[in-house]
Amino acid sequence: MAHPNVELIAALRETARRLKNGAPYAWGNHGTCNCGNLLQVITRYSKEDILRYAHTGMGEWTELAEDYCVTSNAPVGLLISRLMEKGLTPSDIHNIEYLQDRTVLEHLPGGFRWLKRNQREDVILYMETFATLLEERLLQQVKIPYNQLLAEPALTFC
């Protein structure tokens, strides 16, 4: 699963917010599908730019992520690298596109259920749930040194 971090969480939430507010959405279009909308937030590229870059590779986001090579200078490699820089793995990219990560689905409000990859409302719900799950995991990583916080500071006089 993705490496939990503030930037990725914010990008997932912003993507969901934009979709709620009517951002263009078409699952069959690399620039406006699930990953395409997330890339618009992460890269600030337009849907047209993302579509043009994605067409330098072959296949859907799943295949593009699996075929990704860090030494490639192909524009689609740039897009995949930007997703991976934010903490996503090729499996995460596949799961975002198809709304299939079991862990995310098990954390849906109301419990586990399958979502439809090409339904705007399902994409919004998945992105929000994924962000919440990553946020919870990030908070679990925070270590607060309570013994230091509770220790009485030594008073010094000059």
pLDDT of residue 61: 52
Q: What is the pLDDT of residue 38?
A: 96
Give residue-wise pLDDT tens across range 45-92.
Answer: 999 988 887 776 555 555 455 444 444 444 667 788 889 999 999 899
Chain-centre distance for alpha carbon 98: 13
Residue 95 has pLDDT above 70, yes or no: yes
How far is the C-alpha of 126 from the C-alpha of 140, rounded, in Å? Answer: 21
Among candidate residues 20, 31, 4, 39, the one with its CA nearest the CA of residue 125: 20
With beta carbons less than 8 A apart as the criterion, state whether 88 and 2 touch: yes
Mean pLDDT score of the chain, rounded to an integer? 85
The better pLDDT of the pair 52, 11 is held by 11
Going from N- to C-terminal start, the domains of the chain cover 6-150
Give the pLDDT mean for 91-115. Answer: 96
